[in-house]
Structure 1
Amino acid sequence: MIELGQGSLTIVAVIGAIAVAALAFAVVLRRQVLATDEGTPAMKEIAGAIQEGAKAYLTRQFRTLAIFAVIVFGLLFLLPAEPEIKLGRAIAFLFGAGFSAAIGYLGMSLAVKANVRVAAAATRPGGRSEGARIAFRTGGVVGMAVVGLGLLGAAGVVLVYRGEAPAVLEGFGFGAALLAMFMRVGGGIFTKAADVGADLVGKVEQGIPEDDPRNAATIADNVGDNVGDCAGMAADLFESYAVMLVASLILGKAAMGEQGLVLPLIITAIGALVAVLGVLTTRVRGEESGLRAIYRGFYVAAVVGVLLAALATFVYLPGTFADVPGISEALAGQPGDPRLIVSAAVLLGIVLAGVILWLTGYYTGTTSRPTLHVARTSRTGAATVVLSGIGVGLESAVFTAGIIAAAICGAFLLAGGSLSLALFLVALAGCGLLTTVGVIVAMDTFGPVSDNAQGIAEMSGDVDAAGAQVLTDLDAVGNTTKAITKGIAIATAVLAATALFGSYREAVDVAMGEIAEAGTQVAGGIVGAMVAYDITSPITLVGVILGGATVFLFSGLAIDAVTRAAGAIVFEVRRQFREMPGIMTGETRPEYGKVVDICTRDSLRELATPGLLAASAPIAVGFGLGVGPLAGFLAGAIGTGVLMAVFLANSGGAWDNAKKLVEDGLHGGKGSEAHAATVIGDTVGDPFKDTAGPAINPLIKVMNLVSVLIAPAVVQMSVPADTNHALRIGLALVAAAVALGAVLASRLRAVRAERDDERDDSRTAAGVL
């Protein structure tokens, strides 16, 4: 075990203090946001309804998730490890899950208070710059909390467990990733069910504006923006931060000993400092585009982050690998200056973030050729809009995946062929990318806050034409920033998953080494082949296929869940228009609460299936087929996951902004056939970009972390010749049954929903309803 010296412990303690300072800065920003004007009484009333619905949903969601957390807490004690590591890992799991939930709740609770303040700012002179400042600083609060809690958790574990910290931090990352996936799926189903239902009945059938108060789904739609985009995305980026730290510490310890364990913490602590700079420098100047101001803040933070990371690396590391204390034998003779190599890896990650930012903006921005092309196809109907959006998504996925692959190749080249160093450099590139996470979170939260502000303004009727245009412009910027942050989150997920892939290999190697030291006879034949990593092995290729198939199944389940929930919303909103004719004349107030209740019920009901699939699939493959096929499973999930996530996110973003372009007057404007076509495209894209696509990020990390955690047990139950293989197969069958049972339960719910719909249609035709 590595013993950390006093100098390293002092550095980690300072990093913990930086984490606390980041949280303090978040408190300061929060006070600044809440000090601004809340607007008119009508605005406050609408905002209050959104706040009430969002808080009620998250409270019910957390009660549901608490059951999963308790079950997993107990299961972690069944995995092989020293007793103190088992206890620490289980406690760290609860902290990771708790921090992820806290970040999500913070993102939601402040966003539902900031939205009305952005709407109020639009009614005053200089509303564009003031509204953008409030929205961005709201995200800044969440971004600083992500950095602060992530650093605090990692630094705290290192201070307590020292050289054994990576094993304990596996639990921290797993808790963060598992909760984030649940929040992403649940929030995504809620928000997109309401959004799709509101658009199909309101815009297409009734011909009323998006946030018209006569639409019973408007409050639920605005609630969904907060529980899905704010709470879900904040938790997602927090788990990316936590998981990247976990992977980099595991690989750093294996490759470079004590300094490899501390170095990732130093780089991410620099991210806390540059996040402050990025938030403070993001200001809209006069009539400039809000997107330009946000880009400026991001690039300033990125450049300063590179410089500070390089400075810290040159101060902390020696000039040769041989002089690194506790370095592995394989790296002791590695040529090159570790300071330059590490600095280049960090630069690689930050450049990757910048390129992804540009590329995603190109494919989804309102002024770029792809989105303009999608808007043009609206002249020939909804089918061509859908087809063109799919084409844009598929094309963008190839280029984005290629850029991420190039970054990973760059890390491999920097390592000079050393696999252990290459994996560590991939992790450091991810840490470099995450030095900008504070600004990235702020960019993402900007979107739903601006969207909500526009909805509140339209529903209240207290904003004039000029103010409405300001909010429309901010909303369009928010659509692009949300798409950009999804792209960066996907890149982060792939780097983290690649690093975790290396952590999985390290866990397998350690377990195999322990078996070899014990002189245990290794099984031969089929069982012996299960531990091989040969990609040409048919059984390993089976793992690759199953990994890719799991991503497809997960995405299908998420989209299907939105389809069922949205269908229920459509029927409810139609019923209210039919049975309450006073709604259209403004004499009767819609029953907003019923739609919120339907969204809440359906999203929580669908929550378990994707989570059980993500946790059970690697267990079934690992114990059923072995560590080699499980490695193939992870490779298949990572490769398919990056392509699928980018495709879904960018298709949805292009459809959304194409709709905005038509609503702004292009190709006939609102109420035209082109507008109806783009609304259909947008409703198809909603579950793509805000439910299934983003949820793939935590999915691949959850599956990687589960694999890392079970790897020693899989080796112990597979390799020795005298192992009871019946028990191993039994565990695999139980895990497979859990996954298939969850999918079957989802299918049965779909059948029941279809029967209910048919019954409602029959009763409507008979004049009963």
Structure 2
Amino acid sequence: MSLLTPVQHSWAQGAAPPSSSPRTDLAQGHGAIQLAGGDYAVVGVVMVIALAALAFGYVLIKEVLSAGQGTSKMQDIARGVQEGASAYLNRQFRTLAIFAVAVFLVLFALPAETIGERIGRSIFFLFGAAFSAAIGYLGMWLSTRANVRVAAAAREETGQGREKAMRVAFRTGGVVGMMTVGLGLFGASLVVLVYAGGAPRVLEGFGFGAALLAMFMRVGGGIFTKAADVGADLVGKVEQNIPEDDPRNAATIADNVGDNVGDCAGMAADLFESYAVTLVASLILGTAAFGLHGLLFPLIVPAIGVITAVIGVYITKARSGESALTAINRSFYISAGISAVLCAIAAMLYLPSTFAELTGVDETIRGTEGSPALIALVAVIIGILLAVVILKLTGYFTATEHRPVQDVGKSALTGAATVILTGLSVGFESAVYTALVIAAAVLGAFLLSGSLAVALFAVALAGCGLLTTVGVIVAMDTFGPVSDNAQGIAEMSGDVEGDGAQILTELDAVGNTTKAITKGIAIATAVLAATALFGSYTDAISAALADLGGKLSTEEFFVYAPNVLVGVIIGASVVFLFSGLAINAVSRAAGAVVYEVRRQFRDKPGIMDGSERPEYGRVVDICTRDSLRELATPGLLAVLAPIAVGFGLGVGALAGYLGGAIAVGTLMAIFLANSGGAWDNSKKLVEDGYHGGKGSEAHAATVIGDTVGDPFKDTAGPAINPLLKVMNLVSVLIAPAVVYFVVSDSAVHQTTRVVIAVVSVAVIVAAVVISKRRSTAIAESESPDKAVNGAPS
């Protein structure tokens, strides 16, 4: 039986193409756009702003490193964390370099309009990957040096310890934020400067490089950090009844290393790829909807975000008696408000008031009613408001001062089971509200125009509006692990007591909330970028069909078509499989950590009285080995699943696949992030003295909840963000090839198409089977019986 749909059969047999599609306008005119003198000036100003962001980041680095580092014992602990984090990332990058070279060659083989665009796409793939790696590495490098400085600042007896510790932690995040927006904006503007109308196709490679590396860093770093965290909690706090960051626990150094390679490096790379991919989608759709104006305005909006990020970082200061979270949120609101005002001014000054004034667009666009300036303005403001609403919504479900977390903490009085159930309910409920808010933003932007091309560009511009807050968002996120590490160093060294210890406990709890908030906003950026890329996918299909003399039929995308519905189901299933693989990987690695820490307590009784030193390096090695070993399977799944669906079932099924993945991925990511955040802060609530305090049965119950939530919120949940964008970008990149093979009536092409699909499925199945064959806890030689009998693990 043929795999072609009836519509595809008509193309293959040479029949007249279907009636004109509303997407045909997107397939025309991109390469014809050229920059004039004034346009080069606009791009030049954007590049200068991007470089200024990098310069400001350097100024902040100098400020952070000028702070005191505390006692020699604190510095020794920090040095161990620095060495472990650097060793892990260096090994990870060596592993990923091989993968990057292979993808570079594949991208070069894919078709493009010109050889220059093909070369540029491949080269800028490496730029995107390198920028993502650089931001992640810088985030790790600075965070592992800022943590000890935050701990030292909290010791100051002048009454300024709280303010200084908070400032050092937040400005550390500000450095990473400046690098994120600076490199993202510089890369995109450089491509526009060189390739003009061909920039969107070249930027596909830039965004793909950033997204692919971010996904690997998110998965690998997430497995590392949560394997160490779960292992440390289960043996240290539950079995040995010692504090979380007690130096007698062999997993403590690995836990602190993990905070940096997972939360700092991983999240920084994640938000950078969100930045890059949103720009990619905006430029692709913008050139179709607004022509030259649509090519440049998506650069102007995030350039404004750089200015407001600088303001947001500098004005973050807690007033006397004020919560650190309140101060951080206030800075976010102020910077978001400034962004809205400046973007409104930019839209009114730069964009024309009627579509007839646009150049380089299809005549159907020029005849559209409405004002491009007003549509762009409202779309950008929708994106900014979305960030504000998600900040409030996520904060409500994950902060200790609100009822959801308090309910989870109270449920600990009846045991771990009720903690798990209450946390799950918080995650499920919050996912619904957040998803509806994101959906409302997407729909609101989409309804701004009756033209499908303009409406999709409005969705992308909403994503650009969200980008104006990214600099502050990255600062908020990095604030969390830096504060967490600072408290760990303080506890392990024993050199921070009294008010200083209380300051660090407060900042750690605030950091948990800011991390949860930034995960929520990162999910929103992923959905907006993925939705915009969805439009870019159909744009690529239209362009490919136009080259072959055909036009896209809306029948290809009807959800009730069986092939499309099957694609939806497969896309939803991939999100579940990806999440399961990530959580199971944490389970396996954490099991190995548990047995290693138990072995050390058993074989070295002097650890408990302080006469023997734990072997911290063995746990770091276990986490490094297992996290790197687990990278291949989710990476192959993300890249090959769209290829299998596209070549196997056609363009309509692949569209359904993307739709199913976006819908389920949104809900799954929010559920995992918020349930994990609620469990984490419920533990902090009990540790602050509620419901029996530390050492109580309620505390033990919340530790179990937090242990379950760790891989939810820091591994599987955040990794879904780059997963969605990797799959969308793969679909955009392969779209011309899929169309060519599907439409062709050549038996050779049809056979090739089936072979590609079958091989892709076979590789995925083999990777999953190999992954599942690994022990879910520990190698056979390290079985529980042997461990109990005294065999070394």
The two structures have a TM-score, normalised by structure 2, of 0.94
- Structure 2 partner of 1:525: none
Q: What are the Cα deviations for residues 703-754 of structure 1, in whole angstroms up to 9, with x where unaligned?
A: 0000000000000000122352000000111111121111111011236946
Deviation at 1:764, TM superposition (A): 3.6
The one-letter code of the counterpart of 2:187 is G
Deviation at 1:4, TM superposition (A): 1.7
Secondary structure class of the residue paired with 1:20: helix
8 A Cα contact 2:545 2:739, kept in partner: yes
The CA distance in 2 between the partners of 1:750 and 1:609, in whole Å, is 15
- Structure 1 partner of 2:699: 675
- Establish whether residue 87 from structure 1 lines up as the match of residue 119 from structure 2: yes
Structure-to-structure mapping, 1:466-545, within 5 angstroms: 466-516=499-549, 532-545=556-569
Structure-to-structure mapping, 1:596-745, within 5 angstroms: 596-722=620-746, 724-745=749-770
The CA distance in 1 between the partners of 2:377 and 2:790, in whole Å, is 72
The CA distance in 1 between the partners of 2:623 and 2:771, in whole Å, is 16
| Residue 397 (structure 1) aligned to one of 421, 426, 431 | 431
8 A Cα contact 2:588 2:776, kept in partner: no
Q: What are the Cα deviations for residues 473-503 of structure 1, in whole angstroms up to 9, with x where unaligned?
A: 0000000000000000000000000000000
The one-letter code of the counterpart of 2:756 is L
Deviation at 1:9, TM superposition (A): 1.5
- Establish whether residue 460 from structure 1 lines up as the match of residue 484 from structure 2: no
8 A Cα contact 2:188 2:279, kept in partner: yes
Instruction: Name segments (4+ residues, structure 1) moved above 6 Å.
Output: 528-531
Question: Structure 1 unaligned runs (5+)?
Answer: 523-527
Q: What are the Cα deviations for residues 41-95 of structure 1, in whole angstroms up to 9, with x where unaligned?
A: 0100000000000000000000000010000000112211122111110000000
- Structure 1 partner of 2:44: 13
The one-letter code of the counterpart of 1:742 is A
The CA distance in 2 between the partners of 1:752 and 1:342, in whole Å, is 52
| Residue 64 (structure 1) aligned to one of 92, 95, 98 | 95
The CA distance in 2 between the partners of 1:462 and 1:584, in whole Å, is 19
8 A Cα contact 2:589 2:777, kept in partner: no
8 A Cα contact 1:531 1:627, kept in partner: no
The CA distance in 2 between the partners of 1:202 and 1:762, in whole Å, is 21
Q: What are the Cα deviations for residues 308-330 of structure 1, in whole angstroms up to 9, with x where unaligned?
A: 11111111111111111223322
| Residue 27 (structure 1) aligned to one of 41, 48, 58 | 58
Secondary structure class of the residue paired with 1:462: coil
The CA distance in 1 between the partners of 2:65 and 2:651, in whole Å, is 52
Aligned length: 757
- Establish whether residue 588 from structure 1 lines up as the match of residue 612 from structure 2: yes
Deviation at 1:419, TM superposition (A): 1.3
The one-letter code of the counterpart of 1:113 is R
Deviation at 1:530, TM superposition (A): 12
| Residue 592 (structure 2) aligned to one of 568, 576, 586 | 568
The CA distance in 1 between the partners of 2:791 and 2:58, in whole Å, is 55
Q: What are the Cα deviations for residues 634-690 of structure 1, in whole angstroms up to 9, with x where unaligned?
A: 000000000000000000000000000001111101111100000000000000000
8 A Cα contact 2:584 2:776, kept in partner: no
The CA distance in 1 between the partners of 2:402 and 2:239, in whole Å, is 30
Secondary structure class of the residue paired with 2:385: helix
Secondary structure class of the residue paired with 1:464: coil
- Structure 2 partner of 1:118: 150
8 A Cα contact 1:185 1:558, kept in partner: yes
Secondary structure class of the residue paired with 1:516: coil
8 A Cα contact 1:507 1:712, kept in partner: yes
8 A Cα contact 2:416 2:702, kept in partner: yes
8 A Cα contact 1:251 1:502, kept in partner: yes
Q: What are the Cα deviations for residues 601-659 of structure 1, in whole angstroms up to 9, with x where unaligned?
A: 10001111101110000000000111100000000000000000000000000000000
Q: What are the Cα deviations for residues 509-558 of structure 1, in whole angstroms up to 9, with x where unaligned?
A: 011111117xxxx9xxxxx9998111110110000000000000000000
- Structure 2 partner of 1:327: 361
Call closer, same or farther: CA 1:751–1:219 in 2, change over 3 Å.
closer
- Establish whether residue 377 from structure 1 lines up as the match of residue 408 from structure 2: no
Secondary structure class of the residue paired with 1:590: coil
Secondary structure class of the residue paired with 1:39: coil
- Structure 1 partner of 2:86: 55
- Structure 2 partner of 1:309: 343
- Structure 1 partner of 2:5: none
Q: What are the Cα deviations for residues 156-181 of structure 1, in whole angstroms up to 9, with x where unaligned?
A: 11111111000000000000000000
The CA distance in 1 between the partners of 2:777 and 2:478, in whole Å, is 36
Deviation at 1:287, TM superposition (A): 2.5
8 A Cα contact 2:591 2:777, kept in partner: no
Question: Structure 2 unaligned runs (5+)?
Answer: 1-31
The CA distance in 2 between the partners of 1:531 and 1:725, in whole Å, is 21
Call closer, same or farther: CA 1:195–1:281 in 2, change over 3 Å.
same
The one-letter code of the counterpart of 2:387 is A
The two structures have a TM-score, normalised by structure 1, of 0.97
| Residue 256 (structure 1) aligned to one of 284, 290, 302 | 290
8 A Cα contact 2:643 2:734, kept in partner: yes
- Establish whether residue 366 from structure 1 lines up as the match of residue 397 from structure 2: no
Call closer, same or farther: CA 1:95–1:550 in 2, change over 3 Å.
same
The CA distance in 1 between the partners of 2:475 and 2:623, in whole Å, is 27
Secondary structure class of the residue paired with 2:775: helix
8 A Cα contact 1:128 1:287, kept in partner: no
8 A Cα contact 1:19 1:152, kept in partner: yes
The one-letter code of the counterpart of 1:73 is F
